[in-house]
A and B are shown apart, each in its own frame.
Chain A
Amino acid sequence: MAKAVKKEPFIRLAKRDTMPTAKKVAVRLISILAALIVCGLLIFAITGLNPLEVYSTMISGAFGTKTRIWSTVKEMTMLACIAIGLAPAFKMRFWNIGAEGQVLIGGIVTAGCMIYLKALPPVALFAVMLVGSTLAGALWGLLPAVFKAKWNTNETLFTLMMNYVAIQLTSFFVAKWENPYGSNTVGIINQNSQEGWFPSVMGTRYFISVVLVLLLAVLMFVYLKYTKHGYEISVVGESENTARYAGISVGWVVIRTMLLSGALCGMAGFMAVAGASHTISTSTAGGRGFTAIIVAWLAKFDSATMLLISLLLAFLQSGAGEIASKCKLNSYASEMITGIILFFILGSEFFINFKLILRGKKEKEG
């Protein structure tokens, strides 16, 4: 009897209070490195490419030429924009899985404006597209928020379902606007006249999107960190009961924050359509709404970190695409690699939050 009680487990866990920032960064870098090694070995096993060659191919695929750099940057800004939009919702612990749908709705409105309102002067057209797409995204976010605030309806599943409603709506409009008839794609909208396209600045059409997203990143940082709203969001996220006790109207904060979150995701749809693809299809969001959730979560809603993680994922995507085309494999390899890296970063959080204590070692006091 006594024997079983006395025995200390081989490894015990204890929560860490804090970890020095440098050490945190080191843990994350090690996890990314470990993930890259695993991915390299995996690609070697499949293609027989030397792992070092794999990564040099990936780097040249992502940054080899000017076009490639911009295409990687474009991918990064899209991902970062959605992640920035999601950050306030997730900080509030509101599981907005619906970014995919909010992006698509913003995209539909933008495409609709480009098709029907192309006669407007450019400034007015851009204003209508911007306002319309953010309002549409906000509406898509508002619906689950109202039900959450009023009746505590599960928002994870509500927003998830809203994605598919948006996807079907997109299919509806694609069939409605198809061009040429029978192709079931919208094609490039305003191909010759380029109404509603972001103008070229500094030699690239993506420049405006990049500036917009950087601006949003700074604004979001300030909003979450230095405003009353941001403070209310973090209190609601930590504990709803505390927030209520402190006199914060939780329902209103939920609704307000989701309006903002949805609006920014809708704006990402605007940039995807008017700033990049100039068309709309069910793959306009292309799973980024889901990936961005992980970006926001891993970055702990810090703007700079979100940009960095987006860059890493965009690099992987372009790089893996290059490997795939070089080896005549398909480009889904990038999703596989992204998944592996995400697993490693997610796992590494454990070593930041907990420490392992081996049997026989005393926990340090302090």
Chain B
Amino acid sequence: MQGFISLFQAAVFFGTVIMFGCVGEIITEKAGNLNLGVPGIMYLGGISSLAAVFIYEGSTDKPSSAVCVILALAASFAGAALGGFIYAFLTITLRANQNVTGLALSIFGSGVANFFGGSLNTLAGRFEQISVPVTSAAFRQNIAPLASLGIPGQLFFSYGFMVYLAIILAIAVQFFLTRTAAGLNLRTVGENPQAADAAGINVTKNKYLAICIGAGICGFGGAYYVMDYIKGTWANDGSIEKLGWLAVALVIFATWKAKNAIWGAYLFGVLYWMYLYIPGLTRASQEIFKMLPYVVTIIVLVFTSLTNSREKQPPAALGQPYFREDR
């Protein structure tokens, strides 16, 4: 039982990071833009939040938890949305290729984040490992009275607030995309921009907003990773990049539906950490088990293309540039 609980918790921690990335990317892709810059954007979100609270915690003797949290979230959203804006400007206004621009953004984001993550202390004239204890504690604060309710408490209430925020965001995005007029407009832009344009929907504005807001949400994933997952420090080990690509994979797994991202993210978490709970694995064979989330995504990808069901297809104009003068 204890093994099950700890696997469940590990899966929730892991899933929350990629759920943010996935929900953000779903909004972007629904607007017809395949943004392969998700890893870079998550990096930007993570480092922005870390840098902002690092400066704030360093500047006062008694940093307030509330300010720390708000600052971290605002900075991660802003930093990530800025990355999204670069991508949007290049692909929409300058009509550069989406995939190539996304990859460049991934390189850029990981460069910026790892550079500052590794150098913030040197730049600030200090030598120890970077840390933001107050903010990290605020992010990891669980729902105290509920968390001590035995097994259900451990399973469902032992997490920081971001875990619940991710679920709420996923549900909100699902509602927005399927139940509101603005969501319908956005989907039209992704399915058939010509028709959207003819119907008087501002394609450019919709795409810009979707990409920047989507990127901002991805950025929360980076902030959650830095503040909660690795407890308010920085690691130049490329983990965020891995998680970012998994978030892109999860979009396919969830067949472009935000509600599926919730259970899909936790399932990926279970698949990723399962090797720890299977007895008799050597260090080498553990690595084979860590393939599971990727292999499962490939299988899902193949099956969705085999079944050809209309419900499960990507947005029709995904990856296509839109230039009104083209016919």
Contact = CB atoms under 8 A, between A and B. Distances in A.
B103 A293 contact: yes
Nearest to A349: B96
A16 B127 CA distance: 55
Interface string A141-184: 00000010001111011101111110011011101100000001
Interface string A93-106: 00101000000000
A166 to B, nearest CB: 9
B301 A335 contact: no
A13 B287 CA distance: 52
6 contacts: A154-B301, A160-B249, A175-B284, A336-B112, A339-B40, A339-B111
B302 interface: yes
A161 B292 CA distance: 11
Given A151-B302, A157-B252, A334-B111, 13 more contacts: A95-B99, A147-B305, A151-B305, A156-B99, A160-B249, A161-B301, A172-B288, A294-B107, A329-B122, A338-B108, A339-B112, A349-B96, A350-B96
B230 to A, nearest CB: 17
A294 B298 contact: no
B23 to A, nearest CB: 18
B231 interface: no
Given A97-B36, A343-B104, A349-B96, A172 B284 contact: yes
B108 A346 contact: no
Contact of A339 (B109, B248, B284): B109
B205 interface: no
Q: Taking each of B40, B103, B109, B325, which has the highest tally of chain A beta carbons within 10 Å of its own beta carbon?
A: B103
Given A346-B94, A346-B101, A347-B90, A336 B115 contact: yes
Interface string B287-327: 11011001101100110011000000010000100010100
Summarize A's interface: helix, strand, loop or mixed: helix
A332 B301 contact: no
A225 interface: no
Given A287-B107, A347-B94, A350-B96, A333 B284 contact: no
B106 interface: yes
Interface in B85-118: 86, 90, 93-97, 99-101, 103-115, 118
B285 to A, nearest CB: 7
A297 B97 contact: yes
Nearest to A330: B118
Interface of B: 34, 36, 40, 86, 90, 93-97, 99-101, 103-115, 118-119, 122-123, 236, 242, 245, 248-249, 252, 282-288, 290-291, 294-295, 297-298, 301-302, 305-306, 314, 319, 323, 325
Contact of A346 (B104, B295, B298, B306): B104
A15 B95 CA distance: 12
Contact of B107 (A173, A298, A335): A335
A90 to B, nearest CB: 9
Contacts, number: 162
Given A294-B103, A329-B119, A350 B301 contact: no
A154 B300 CA distance: 11
A353 interface: yes
A131 B287 CA distance: 27
Interface residues of A, number: 55
Interface in A1-45: 13-15
A330 B283 CA distance: 30
A163 B36 CA distance: 14
Contacts of A290: 103, 106-107
Interface of A: 13-15, 46, 95, 97, 147, 151-154, 156-158, 160-165, 168-169, 171-173, 175-176, 184, 287, 290-291, 293-294, 297-298, 328-330, 332-340, 342-343, 346-347, 349-350, 353-354
A160 B295 CA distance: 11
Contacts of A154: 252, 301, 305, 314
A336 B306 contact: no
A195 to B, nearest CB: 24
A124 to B, nearest CB: 29
